[in-house]
Amino acid sequence: MKKSIIFLLFASLCIFNVDAQKKIPHTYRPMGVQPSHRTEIILPQVNGYNVYKGDFHIHTSYSDGRVNPKGRVTEAWLDGLDVIAITDHYEGTSGLKGALKVAAPQSADGKAMGYKSAKELGVAPADFNAIHKEAEWQLKRSGYPLLVIKGCEMAREPKEYGHFNCLFLKDINSVYDPDIAEAFKKVKKQGGIVIHNHPSYRRGTTDKSESHKKLYDAGLIDGVEVANGVNFYPHMIRRCVEEKLTMFGNTDEHGLTSARFGSLNCFRTMTLIFAKNLTEKAIKDAILKHRTLAYVCGYVAGEEKLLCDFLNASVECRKVKEDAKKGNRTFMLTNMSSITYRLRRGKTVYELEPFKSVMVTLGKDKKTGEYIPPRFRVDNMWHMDFKNPTFELELDK
């Protein structure tokens, strides 16, 4: 009898231990499965065009960047962009050289073709089309509705020429030429465009050099970066307006956008493109017709008329009260976009945050006796050099 009781107790303990072990998982994820979230940047339609967010100057680990093409695609999507161009340095393959050193035991000599060898042979130093294909592979795998433009960055003597991005290429490798003007002509033959990057790079000025003048006068330059990274080039707006060039805002990112822009309380630097749809043809058409603005660190820069249209499409202005005795009118301004606007009247600044409203009361002009219209200087917009534009908001749109 005692043996039976002992046996039953032992069996019960074994069953209890087995049950207890079953309740303890080998792997436990405290937070569960969390999908990656995209930062949505909501912008209005303007004059019948959608406003797409783009970055046309990005580097990968195949030149001197620290993120591979697949990572750049994912990063851009999570940052809220719609279109990017991967523009690795045509003359710089330090990342490729580093990769081949790692792979040296598995390669013939562990050496990469450098720019000097490429110049002597008259060929591209690497297969730049393969970089684009890697990005396309990630697009197909992820399903992101992101457009990736095929391009590269070219450089010559920094104090005389500087850097230029070549976009909308069909075959990146074949545009190489030791003479940069001839290279740009090859870009044009492929239907591509050329952007003058960070115009003061290593020159300390945004004035044109003699070499720049020849390139511009020959019609080989289509646009200029008025913003690069966290830098703004005020004089470039005037050049773009007067010479009918397209304005760009690009990150020129080599590292992680989250590391550079994450603590700045703003979106990454980008180009706002006013296009009918998200296709290469429509984006290129918008660029060639100068329908772009540059966003940098919470500021928007560009041609005055387009800035005005963009602001009025973003902000609803409604008259909510009129007091005849006091001689004033009260307006409610509602920001329907993801960009904060700083609207100034004299010393008063109205911080109009995304998807919020402010009430503004305006009286009558002492000279004319007429009601003062809802007219403001926009402190975080730039047009023509370093000037803030003044716009009148459309009433009750």
The string of pLDDT tens digits covering residues 287-300 is 999 999 999 999 99
Classify residue 191: in a domain, yes or no: yes
- pLDDT surpassing 80 at residue 104: no
Classify residue 16: in a domain, yes or no: no
pLDDT digits (tens, 9 = 90+) for 211-255: 999 999 999 999 999 999 999 999 999 999 999 999 999 999 999
**307, 274 contact by CB (below 8 A):** no
The pair of structure tokens assigned to 180 is 């940069």
In angstroms, the CA 320 to CA 225 distance is 42
List the domain range (segments joined by +) for residue 167. Answer: 50-302
pTM across the whole model: 0.88
Q: Are residues 72 and 147 in the same domain?
A: yes
What Cα–Cα distance (Å) separates residue 296 from each residue in 36, 155, 249? 25, 24, 7
Q: Are residues 177 and 270 in the same domain?
A: yes
Domain boundary among 248, 278, 302: 302
Q: Are residues 185 and 298 in the same domain?
A: yes
Classify residue 285: in a domain, yes or no: yes
Look at residue 220 in the predicted model and tell me its pLDDT: 97
pLDDT digits (tens, 9 = 90+) for 30-51: 777 677 899 999 999 999 999 9
Our measurement of the distance from residue 375's CA atom to the centroid of its chain's CA atoms, rounded to an integer in Å, reads 30
Alpha helices in 203-303 (DSSP H): 210-217, 234-243, 257-261, 280-288
Domain harbouring 179, CATH code: 3.20.20.140
Q: Are residues 378 and 247 in the same domain?
A: no
Q: Give the chain's mean pLDDT.
A: 89
For residues 50-66, give the mean pLDDT: 95
The pair of structure tokens assigned to 93 is 């393959």
Q: Are residues 287 and 335 in the same domain?
A: no
Of 237, 165, 273, 274, the C-alpha closest to 386 is 237
Domain boundary among 302, 327, 353: 302
Look at residue 355 in the predicted model and tell me its pLDDT: 98
- pLDDT surpassing 80 at residue 107: no
Band of residue 13 on the pLDDT scale cut at 50, 70, 90:
low
Look at residue 195 in the predicted model and tell me its pLDDT: 98
Classify residue 148: in a domain, yes or no: yes
Classify residue 44: in a domain, yes or no: no
Q: Are residues 282 and 360 in the same domain?
A: no
Instruction: For the beta carbon of residue 329, count every other beta carbon within 10 angstroms.
Output: 21
Classify residue 12: in a domain, yes or no: no
In angstroms, the CA 311 to CA 332 distance is 15
Contacts of residue 36, Cβ cutoff 8 Å, sequence gap at least 6: 74, 78
Q: Are residues 275 and 319 in the same domain?
A: no
Look at residue 24 in the predicted model and tell me its pLDDT: 87
**pLDDT: is 268 or 178 the higher one?**
268
Classify residue 21: in a domain, yes or no: no
Q: Are residues 135 and 199 in the same domain?
A: yes
- The upper half-sphere exposure of residue 395, i.e. CA atoms within 13 Å in the direction of its Cβ, equals 10
- pLDDT surpassing 60 at residue 5: no
Q: Are residues 190 and 276 in the same domain?
A: yes
Classify residue 95: in a domain, yes or no: yes
Domain boundary among 233, 267, 302: 302
Look at residue 185 in the predicted model and tell me its pLDDT: 97
Of 282, 263, 260, 262, the C-alpha closest to 273 is 282
The pair of structure tokens assigned to 50 is 């959608």
**226, 247 contact by CB (below 8 A):** yes
The DSSP element (H or E) to which 152 belongs, if any, is: strand 147-155
Rounded to the nearest 10 degrees, the angle between the axes of helix 69-78 and helix 128-142 is 50
Q: Are residues 252 and 273 in the same domain?
A: yes
Number of domains in the chain: 2
Look at residue 26 in the predicted model and tell me its pLDDT: 79
Q: Are residues 106 and 216 in the same domain?
A: yes
Residue 103 region, left (φ>0) first, then alpha (ψ -120 to 50), else beta? alpha
In angstroms, the CA 121 to CA 357 distance is 62
Alpha helices in the chain (DSSP H): 2-23, 69-78, 94-102, 115-121, 128-142, 180-189, 210-217, 234-243, 257-261, 280-288, 304-314
Contacts of residue 317, Cβ cutoff 8 Å, sequence gap at least 6: 331, 332, 333, 374, 393, 394, 395, 396, 397
b/e per residue, 55-81, with b = 16+ CB within 10 A?
bbbbbbbbbbbebbbbbbbbbbbebbb
Q: Are residues 335 and 266 in the same domain?
A: no
**pLDDT: is 115 or 351 the higher one?**
351
- pLDDT surpassing 80 at residue 338: yes
